[in-house]
Amino acid sequence: MRVVIAEDHALLRDGLTRILQAFDFDVVASVDSGPALLPALVTHRPEVAVVDVRLPPTFTDEGLQAAIAARNRIPGLPILVLSQHVEPLYARELLSTPRGGVGYLLKDRVSNVGEFIDAVRRVAAGGSAMDPEVITQLLARREPLAALTVREREVLGEMAEGRSNAAIGTKLRITEKAVSKHINNILTKLDMPPSDDHNRRVLAVLAYLNA
């Protein structure tokens, strides 16, 4: 799978490259600044991009801006944004770009290599990968969630992070069938349209949480 990396810190760029290569990703380009990212994405048309939020020259949210610009330019381009801190505000901005796989994770998560690789693949496949920290902050401020049971809220959180029904089932030690029952209940309680497409459903949940 072809991937482009944008990370200014040499150590982290190197670490990311090594991890992705160890899992048979093809790192076609790794750039170290915001302005270099867009041309690299346009030239290489990777199947997924892994982008740091803070990049030179401004050292502000250059990477995030470049990612949003790239998604507007190349609709459906899957991008996984990494950062040393997460802000629901940034998640909202990312999610408001045209559809396609999107992820937003703390850099810490990379150290759990298996899950990180899983998240990259999920985003590449058009799914999502939201950091638990973002989800926690989002869930904390939504009033109507009080109507959900504890279990349903757990399922909602896992779902918002971007996991498949099967993965949620394994994580929470319940059957996949039980998971879809919970999800249906959640969608009903939150007054959201039922959908068969899992990715679209997750994005709908995120959009709801972000509204």
Partner 1 sequence: MAPWVRRGMRSVGAGLAAIGLALTNVPLLVLSIVALVLVPVPFLGMALVPWTTILVRMRTDLERRIAGRAGVPVVRPYHPPPDRSVPGGWRRFRWVVTDPATWRDLAWLVPGALVGIILGVITLAVPLYGLAGLTLTPVWIWLGTGWYGYGTAWSVDSVGEALLCVPQGAAILAAGLWSAPWLRRVDALFDRLLLAPTRAADLRLRVTQLTVTRADTVDAQAAELRRIERDLHDGVQARLVSLGMMIGLADELIDRNPAAAHELLAEARESSGTALVELRHLVRGIHPPVLAERGLEGAVRALALSLPVPITVDADLSGRLDTPVESAAYFAVAETLTNVVRHSRARHAWVSLRHVEERLTMVVTDDGAGGADSAAGTGLRGIERRLAAFDGTMALSSPPGGPTVVTMELPCALSSPRTTPSFATD
Q: Does 27 bind partner 1 (CB under 8 A)?
A: no
Min. distance of Cβ 7 from partner 1 in angstroms?
9
* Residue 200 near partner 1 by CB under 8 A: no
- The whole-angstrom separation of Cα 14 and Cα 110 is 13
Reading the block at residue 7, the tokens are 């990370």
Is 170 a residue that touches partner 1 (CB under 8 A)?
Answer: no
The crossing angle, in degrees rounded to 10, of helices 198-210 and 176-189 is 40
Residue 57 binding partner 1, by CB under 8 A: no
Residue carrying structure tokens 């380009």 = 29
Q: Is 95 buried (19+), middle (13-18) or exposed (0-12) by CB count in 10 A?
A: middle
Site for partner 1 in 74-93 (CB under 8 A): 84
Distances (CA, A) of 179 to 92, 116, 159: 26, 23, 10
> What are the angstrom distances between the C-alpha of 66 and each of 38, 80, 182, 210?
6, 12, 37, 21
Smallest Cα–Cα separation from 134: which of 152, 108, 98?
108
Name the minimum Å distance from CB 116 to partner 1.
8
CB of 84 or CB of 188, closer to partner 1: 84
116 binds partner 1 (CB under 8 A): yes
Give the shortest CB-112-to-partner 1 separation in angstroms.
6
Binding mask 3-22 for partner 1 (x = CB under 8 A): ------x-xx-xxx-xx--x
Q: Is 60 in the site for partner 1 (CB under 8 A)?
A: no
Single out the segment in contact with partner 1 by CB under 8 A; choices: 104-112, 124-132, 155-163, 202-210.
Answer: 104-112
- Phi, psi for residue 4 in degrees, rounded to 5: -115, 135
54 binds partner 1 (CB under 8 A): yes
111: DSSP letter: G
Q: Confirm or reject binding of residue 107 to partner 1 (CB under 8 A).
A: yes
In sequence order, the β-bridge partners of residue 135 are none
Which residues of the shown chain bind partner 1 in the complex (CB under 8 A)? 9, 11-12, 14-16, 18-19, 22, 54, 59, 84, 107-108, 110-114, 116
